[in-house]
Structure 1
Amino acid sequence: MLQRLFRPRPAREMGRALYAAAVSQSRTPALYERLGAPDTVEGRFEVYSLHVVLLLDRLQGQGEAAAETSQAVFDTFVKSLDDALREMGVGDLSVGKKMRKLGEAFFGRVKNYHAAFGRLPDAADLEAVIARTVYAEADAAHAPAMARYAVAQREALAAQPLERLLKGEVEWTQP
């Protein structure tokens, strides 16, 4: 009985699995080698934020189970950021401030990506968002290619059955 009480909810487990898949995909070497994403702390944050946004976008408006799973993906993302800051040596007194700043940045990206996705197939806005986030500290010449990659991922996610995603299973396309 106690095991049942303390067992994580399925949505939480699936959210963790989807988040882990997003992190794994965001570490694909081709994103950095061929698409020119900066291989820095900031560049990696932007690339994995993009993948998390793509998952949240796919789950949006798909019912209660998808909303729970989406929240679990986000919660796992936030916990991971907190853990990463602490591993980087950020002191306990500073973590809250940095987390607030990262949270505001992430919500800004969610809003901007969502608006850009709404204007597809015209990818100009998506390219602009990617240029000022992913390539903020690098040459943005690869922004159109990264935008095509993001659109392809979004389409691939849309084609995947919701049931698979709610089981924590996702297939990403290669860059």
Structure 2
Amino acid sequence: MSLLNRIFRRSDPRDAMLPLYHAVVTTGRQPHWYAQGRVPDTLDGRFDMIAGVLTLVLLRLERETAPDFKQESVWLTELFVDDMDGQLRQIGIGDMIVGKHIGRMMSALGGRLTAYRAAFAPGGDLDGALARNLYRGDPPAPEALSHVAEAMNRLRAGLDRLSTGAILSGTLP
């Protein structure tokens, strides 16, 4: 980077969301999801779990009324897209195909937002949403599904107890 670029470089506002994004990834990579919860420890399974945690964070931020929080949700989602783009390139997906994969991933994230929003509503079917989105329709063992459902409920309740400022700074339960 040249001296002029460094002097006149504008900071990326998404940088403030990096601690939260790293916390989302760390939470989604916790071994209990894959060991006790038996989420497949594969590329798809890790994507599904990180997307699931990200979805809970986005749903929590969605309940805030200040417009700033909507922008911060957008920045958090953009970090997710950038990370997934890098991951795809790292495993050898070429430039011509990455866009299609990212489009599918964004569609999957949108689907999870809809599914988990409904699943956590009164009378919602969390087990069904988890079976479709984490296990991709393969029937999970009851104890595995129970573990993941309880952990997701604990995470959601913990997010509800945290202030929005704490969440945005990267603190997750």
Residue type of the alignment partner of 2:172: E
Deviations 1:105-159 (A, max 9, x none): 221111111111123xx46x11101011211275512223211111110110010
Which residue matches 1:47? Answer: 49
User: Could you say what secondary structure the match of 1:90 adopts?
Assistant: coil
How many angstroms does 1:65 deviate by? Answer: 2.3
Change in Cα spacing, 1:163 to 1:3, as seen in structure 2 (3 Å) is farther
CA distance in 2, matches of 1:78, 1:112: 20
Contact 2:127 2:145 (C-alpha < 8 Å) held by counterparts? yes
Report the alpha carbon displacement of residue 69 of structure 1 after superposing the two structures with TM: 1.5
- 2:3 maps to none
Question: 1:35 is matched by which residue type in structure 2?
Answer: G
Structure-1 separation of matches of 2:7 and 2:154: 41
Q: Which amino acid aligns with 1:169?
A: G
Deviation at 1:57, TM superposition (A): 0.7
**CA–CA separation in structure 2 for the residues paired with 1:90 and 1:169:** 30
Q: Partner of 2:159 in structure 1?
A: 157
1:171 is aligned to 2:139: no
Q: Which residue of 2 aligns with 1:22?
A: 24
TM-aligned CA distance change 1:3 to 1:51, over 3 Å = farther
Q: Which runs of 5+ in 1 are unaligned?
A: none
Which one of 30, 36, 47 corresponds to residue 38 of structure 2? Answer: 36
| Residue-by-residue CA offset, 1:65-117 (whole Å, 9 max, x unaligned) | 22121111101001111111111101111111111112112211111111111
Task: Give the TM-score normalised by the residue count of structure 2.
Answer: 0.87
Please give the secondary structure, in 2, of the residue aligned with 1:6.
coil
TM-score of the superposed pair, with normalisation by structure 1: 0.86
Shift of 1:8: 2.6
CA distance in 1, matches of 2:135, 2:95: 30
Match of residue 91 from structure 1: 94
For 2:7 and 2:76, how far apart are their aligned partners in 1? 23
Amino acid at match of 1:160: L
Letter in 2 for 1:171: L
Between the aligned residues of both structures, percent identity stands at 28
